[in-house]
């Protein structure tokens, strides 16, 4: 049974989530504090298959929790619950290393569908990684992106990417040679249609360049197209 940690300090909401997630076939733990959630997630005793993480928490906030998780090499899928009307929260969440987000208040059916989506993606990634056949990879400029393992191999270095970093890089590679706008990236990679601050995309690009480029300050692969967006060199 998939095991899910709900990190939410509003007790009635956390208990409502527990009830519905359990009815959907999951095992659920609740943590109401960011610091304790992080301890639990980094501890060895409780491996989770997914985390539902509120942004506003006592102790460390949701952004700090997911950032610390990723820094520690813990890549459990994270669905962030962001405040309504704060689209910048969404990209802050992705920048910190979240995999998906849902603005509050949300419809329960949508939350359950998102959680199933995260678990399914993780399952596919695991199956592909352990399958005997060649994993799905994209090779470019002597680098290899492993879509199943969420790994980028550059020379003898291996970088572990979040699902969203991997999806963004794959999108740029599939559109190599074409300039893609920030708006297209938001719509196609993140399925965000609201009026979001698209400059936040730039943070992701900076991170990808750190992995990809020989000299991240003078990119030769992931190029800026002035007034448009970005382009992966062919």
For Ca ion, the binding residues (CB under 5 A) are 9, 54, 56
- Smallest separation, CB 12 to Ca ion (Å): 11
- Smallest separation, CB 191 to Ca ion (Å): 24
- Smallest separation, CB 193 to Ca ion (Å): 26
- Smallest separation, CB 78 to Ca ion (Å): 15
Q: What is the CA radius of gyration of the chain?
A: 18
Smaller CB separation from Ca ion, 81 or 186 = 81
Smaller CB separation from Ca ion, 3 or 104 = 104
First and final C-alpha spacing in the chain: 44
Smaller CB separation from Ca ion, 40 or 160 = 40
C-alpha to C-alpha distance for 78 and 49, rounded to whole angstroms: 9
Residue 152: phi and psi, rounded to 5, are: -115, 125
Smaller CB separation from Ca ion, 28 or 186 = 28
Residue 23: phi and psi, rounded to 5, are: -65, -25
- Smallest separation, CB 9 to Ca ion (Å): 5
Smaller CB separation from Ca ion, 82 or 163 = 82
**Residue 44 burial by Cβ neighbours in a 10 Å radius (0-12, 13-18, 19+):** exposed
C-alpha to C-alpha distance for 76 and 163, rounded to whole angstroms: 10
Sheet holding 229-232, edge to edge: 180-181, 229-232, 222-225
């Amino acid at each position: 049974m998939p095991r899910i940690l709900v990190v939410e300090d509003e007790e009635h909401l956390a208990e409502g989530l527990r009830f519905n997630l359990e009815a959907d076939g999951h095992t659920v733990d609740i943590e109401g504090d960011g610091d304790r959630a992080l301890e639990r997630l980094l501890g060895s005793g409780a491996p989770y298959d997914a985390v539902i993480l509120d942004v506003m928490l006592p102790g460390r906030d949701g952004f700090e929790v997911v950032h610390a998780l990723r820094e520690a090499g813990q890549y459990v899928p994270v669905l962030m619950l962001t405040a309504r009307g704060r689209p910048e929260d969404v990209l802050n969440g992705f920048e910190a290393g979240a995999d998906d987000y849902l603005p509050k208040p949300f419809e329960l059916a949508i939350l359950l569908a998102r959680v199933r989506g995260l678990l399914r993606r993780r399952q596919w990634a695991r199956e592909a990684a352990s399958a005997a056949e060649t994993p799905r990879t994209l090779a470019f400029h002597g680098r290899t992106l492993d879509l199943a393992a969420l790994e980028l191999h550059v020379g003898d270095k291996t970088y572990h990417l979040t699902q969203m970093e991997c999806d963004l890089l794959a999108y740029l590679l599939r559109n190599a040679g074409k300039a893609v706008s920030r708006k297209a990236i938001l719509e196609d990679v993140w399925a965000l249609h609201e009026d979001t601050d698209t400059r936040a995309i730039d943070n992701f690009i900076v991170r990808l360049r750190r992995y990809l480029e020989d000299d991240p300050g003078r990119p030769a692969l992931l190029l800026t197209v002035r007034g448009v967006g970005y382009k992966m060199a062919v």
